[in-house]
Amino acid sequence: MLSIPRFGRMALKQVSSSKSFGGFQKVFEHDSVELKCKMKFAVYLPPKAESAKCPVLYFLSGLTCTEQNFITKSGFQQAASEHGLIVIAPDTSPRGCNIKGEDDSWDFGTGAGFYVDATEDPWKTNYRMYSYVTEELPQLVNANFPVDPQRTSIFGHSMGGHGALICTLKNPGKYKSVSAFAPICNPMLCVWSKKAFGEFLGPDQNKWKAYDATHLVKSYTGSQLDILIDQGKADEFYDQLLPENFIAACTEKKIPVVFRLQEGYDHGYYFIATFIADHIRHHAKYLNA
Amino acid sequence: MEEDAGEEPGLGRCTAPTDFHFYHMDLYDSDSRLQVLPEESTGVRREAVQAERTYEPRGAREGQAHRALHEEADELVHLYGLEDDHELGDEIMDEDTPRLGTAEYPPYGVKRGDPAWEQRDWRLGGEAAEAEDLGFGGWGSRGQCQDLREAYRYTHGRASEEYECYVIPEEEDEEEAADVFCVTCKIPVRAVENLDAHKEHEVTPLNQALESAKDEIHKNMYKLEKQIIDMENFASHLEEVFITVEENFGRQEQNFESHYNEILETLAQKYEEKIQALGQKKKEKLEALYEQLVSCGENLDTCKELMETIEEMCHEEKVDFLKDAVAMADRLGQFLKTKTDVEISAQPDFEEQTLDFSDVEELMGSINSIPAPSAPVINPQAPNSATGSSVRVCWSLYSDDTVESYQLSYRPVGDGSPGKDQAEFTVTVKETYCSVKNLMPNTQYEFWVTAQNRAGSSPSSERAVYMTAPSPPIIKSKEIRSCEEAALICWESGSLNPVDSYTVELTQAEAPQAWGVTESIVGIPTCEALVQLQPRQNYTIYVRALNVGGPSARSEPATVHTTGSYFHLNKDTCHPWLTISEDGFTVMRSERKTPMREPLASNTRFTRCVAVLGNLIPVRGRHYWEVEVDECLDYTIGVAFEEVPRHEDLGANRLSWCLRHTFASSRHKYEFLHNKTSPDTRITVPPRRIGVLLDYANSRLSFFNVDISQHLHSFSCELHRLVHPCFSLEKPGCLKIRNGIPMPKHVTFY
């Protein structure tokens, strides 16, 4: 299955492989060019991938997560197997880069890359998660797995939901569809990301706008979107997420969103597992159309 | 009527004159004709065949019938005119024409030449069969025969041309495909190479030539099929005639036997009587003569004794003599006085006896007369023997009856009210069946029949009630509902009286490979049928009504498209404030200046929410429809059980699942209501066209913004029973329902 990598340093190393719903849940390790460190990512290969090229769906995880959380807790494999989707779950930040302050806080640095390309020292060398998930990782995946690059979608949770939204809004047409679980919708106004954006992007808030979904949507002119957002009503971080701002912007710009406030659900993976099938179906509708 | 009854339809024999007999009575009359046959005595079967052969030629002498036969011959030639038969027929005819001429029976026997003819036992052995064969062209003149042969060659020749037309190109295909067809040379041509040679010729594309050749062949096949059917009908009619003739002759044979036996018995009895009388007479006479002889002898003895006494007296003394002589003279005188009878008391010859043969003569005379038939037995109605305007009545006769014709009488079965006696009708037929026409549909008629021959008329049969088939039903086209896998068809009976059942016939409109294939659903007791169909097809549907008499004609067709689900609004449920457009698919609530009084509570009509239900086909499959709405309109759409409370809002109970839109202070609110609760869902783009997907299999009801393929919400609902679409307007405005449309691809993911 492993073809010769397009870049010499992009060799993939399989870390694990487990059969799941007829397909395989694998984890690979590689040396990232963008992040200049070893990175792990998870790949689910549905049974259909043995005989045909399949669409690929990226899942961006939230703060503190690695590639493991989603693949072990969400139970997405069943729906992905049914719809024949390859699902890629990258890590949430560079690791082991020995940058001072990297591991000081749970909501910044390791496990909290915020899917931006840092422009400030000391982060700008390694913390290029935006380029990693939109460029390097797709190239690696396209080169090594039976994927149809024309059919790519993205979704995420919390910080990853923010990541999925900005990747889509910044690259019209690159992703066939987008959805999010409890996304950080307006990171410029969110305590976590204000800190991170300040460190990664500097104090100029105009630069932040390029990574803020609510701001991006106001100037979006790309192809038709169909955004599905699920949000738990009992989410302990609801105040940080600010979905109302995003909904208001989308309503004004007539960007189609179905925003579902789910009574009683919190921010965790039990919430995700409850609605993961809806989201995978949402993407399958566009990826398998 | 008589003509109708006497014929199988389509045989062209209708032009035969009515005195065109083929029954036994001809044979009774035609002794001379029978004598022509050398094999006359070879048995009934032979005679039957002879009769078969006889009747047609005799008819043929009538000019009109002659032509009819000629036409039939044409058909027969088309049907059975294989080349071999022709040659055989021609040859034999050439050899044996003189014989034929004397035979006086130019046989009506084209069928003999056909090896496929079923009635092989009809064939006469050897010579006779040959005679049949050679009669092939022997209708009359040679000229006609020539016509037949030409007709044959015409069809045959054309067939060969067609054969070449499409076979030769196939052979050439192996090398290089020919692409045009030269009509003049009747060969396919490769345009590149050989077109020069056909420059002046009429040339058509090969495909076109192929098509027209195929068309021609199909036409001919159709003709042939028609002719086969005609011939089969004709053959079955011949078979009937055959059986009738066989039966009639069998009866006559028995008749003769019993009559002659009777005569012989009578004669024997008379002989016995005469002999006995003669013996009696003889005995009497002999006895009388014997008595006379005896008494004669006695007299003789007395005379002799007297003689002797007198002689003795003559020898006595005179005195004695005189004494005795006186006594003697007295005695003699006394004796002579007694009369001596010398008359013969009995005559030796017998008296002239008259022989009375009058009764025998009577018997002899009665051999050729037949008894009047007994009453025929009328059969009960056979299934599928009636149409809307006709019935086929059948009866049978007693096997030893001879019948020349039947009189069939009938009248409609009245409703029993006196003074309304229905008119009676009578027809005369020769067969034991009759198709009676011009009757009323779905009506009972009683029939009775009498049989006639020259001796008289039979008593009437029992009366049998026959029923005409019903009138065709009338499909209620505007009430047809359908979905991808079925359609619900309903119709009006079309008949006043009840019918037994209905049959639905359906043909797929756009299936060239299944052209003309009709599927039937039979035994439908009600005026409604749910028919399983294939998705995304067009069907033409007909309905027939059936009763004991048979099926009606087809109803007018109705078309069904199995694309999406197609339903109508149930006007009975419509809130009084709503109006439904002419086409039935726009629901309007008009502006009201003054608030209207709440309508009275009702079980069918919505009284509180201004709503209407649709009538969805009762099929637990997947149904999809769309509703066009105004962005600012307040509306509720969804599904509800039939019995959803009419005085509650839709979605306010467990019997309905709805999307409700309310527009207030320039904010859109979308609720997905069931049992008064809704999830908190925000939709940023107000849909103008809402797709509704009802999926029984997955127990889901989903809503979509059709224009942007956006999934809005899915209910998981327990649909133990059937639900119907529901629509409600909370403010003046209108909803436009679009159904009978294909389900969009994006919908299939939910």
Residue A2 lies in a domain: no
Residue A1 lies in a domain: no
The answer to whether B49 and B127 have CB atoms below 8 angstroms apart is: no
Per-residue pLDDT at A3: 46
**A282 contacts B684? CB cut-off 8 A:** no
Reported as a single tens digit per residue, the pLDDT across B367-407 is: 666 777 888 889 888 888 888 888 889 898 876 677 888 99
Q: Which residues pair with A25 in a beta bridge?
A: A18, A44
Residue A40 lies in a domain: yes
Rounded Cα distance between A42 and A91, Å, is 8
Residue A248 lies in a domain: yes
Look at residue A84 and tell me whether its pLDDT is greater than 80.
yes
Residue A60 lies in a domain: yes
Helices (H), B61-175: 63-80, 83-103, 126-134, 142-173
Q: Which residues pair with A152 in a beta bridge?
A: A56
Q: Closest partner residue to B708 among A224, A259, A288, by Cβ? A: A224
Per-residue pLDDT at B676: 93
Residue A114 lies in a domain: yes
- Here the CATH number for the domain that contains residue A278 is 3.40.50.1820
Per-residue pLDDT at B419: 53
Q: pTM for the whole thing?
A: 0.62
**What DSSP assignment string belongs to A117-177?**
B--STTTTTT-BHHHIIIIIHHHHHHHHS-EEEEEEEEEEETHHHHHHHHHHHHSTTTSS-
Per-residue pLDDT at A198: 92
- C-alpha atoms less than 13 angstroms from C-alpha of B288 in its C-beta half-sphere: 12
Structure-model confidence comparison of residues B31 and A177, the more confident one: A177
**B712 contacts A258? CB cut-off 8 A:** yes
SS3 for B523?
strand
Structure-model confidence comparison of residues B205 and A63, the more confident one: A63
Rounded Cα distance between A15 and A28, Å, is 5
Residue A3 lies in a domain: no
**B709 contacts A226? CB cut-off 8 A:** yes
User: Token pair for residue B641?
Assistant: 């059980």
CB atoms within 10 A of CB B412: 16
Rounded Cα distance between B207 and B199, Å, is 19
- Which of A52, A57, A62, A51 lies closest to A77, judged by CA? A57
Per-residue pLDDT at B310: 82
Tell me the C-alpha to C-alpha distance, in Å, between residue B130 and each of B56, B91, B110, B123, B133.
18, 11, 12, 9, 5
Q: Which residues pair with B664 in a beta bridge?
A: B667
Per-residue pLDDT at A188: 93
Q: Is A131 exposed, middle or buried (0-12, 13-18, 19+ CB in 10 A)?
A: middle
Mean pLDDT is lowest, of A104-118, A150-164, A203-217, B358-372, for B358-372
- Of A61, A235, A279, A282, the active-site residue reads A235
Where chain B has pLDDT below 50, the residues are 1-63, 65, 80-145, 148-175
- Of A267, A279, A282, A283, the active-site residue reads A267
The residue whose two tokens read 């024409």 is B97
Q: Which amino acid is at A160?
A: G
Look at residue A25 and tell me whether its pLDDT is greater than 70.
yes
Rounded Cα distance between B471 and B245, Å, is 39
Question: Strand A257-262 relative to strand A227-232: parallel, antiparallel, unpaired?
Answer: parallel
Q: Closest partner residue to A258 among B711, B745, B749, by Cβ? A: B711
The answer to whether A247 and B701 have CB atoms below 8 angstroms apart is: no
Rounded Cα distance between A167 and B408, Å, is 95
Per-residue pLDDT at B121: 44
Per-residue pLDDT at B16: 42
Structure-model confidence comparison of residues A225 and B360, the more confident one: A225
Residue A103 lies in a domain: yes
Taking each helix axis from N to C terminus, what angle separates B206-314 and B142-173, rounded to the nearest 10 degrees? Answer: 140
**B710 contacts A261? CB cut-off 8 A:** no
Rounded Cα distance between B435 and B441, Å, is 15
Rounded Cα distance between B290 and A238, Å, is 165
**B682 contacts A261? CB cut-off 8 A:** yes
Give how far A147 is from chain B: nearest CA, Å. 21
Range of the domain at A201: 13-288
- Which of A31, A26, A39 lies closest to A86, judged by CA? A26
Q: How many domains does chain A have?
A: 1
Segment holding B258, helix H or strand E: helix B206-314
Rounded Cα distance between B161 and B207, Å, is 16
From chain A residues 217-256, the ones with a CB under 8 A of any chain B CB are 224, 226, 228, 233, 247, 250-251, 254-256
The answer to whether A110 and A93 have CB atoms below 8 angstroms apart is: yes
Segment holding B322, helix H or strand E: helix B318-337
Per-residue pLDDT at B89: 42
Substitution target in B685, B708, B714 with the highest count of A β-carbons within 10 Å is B685
Q: Is A177 a catalytic residue?
A: no
**A251 contacts B680? CB cut-off 8 A:** no
**Structural domains of chain B, ranges and CATH numbers in brackets:** 212-336 (no CATH), 377-415+422-468 (2.60.40.10), 474-562 (2.60.40.10), 571-738 (2.60.120.920)
Per-residue pLDDT at B37: 43
Q: Is A235 a catalytic residue?
A: yes
Rounded Cα distance between A25 and B280, Å, is 136
Residue B692 backbone zone (phi > 0: left; psi -120 to 50: alpha; other: beta):
beta
SS3 for A178?
strand
Rounded Cα distance between B581 and B585, Å, is 6
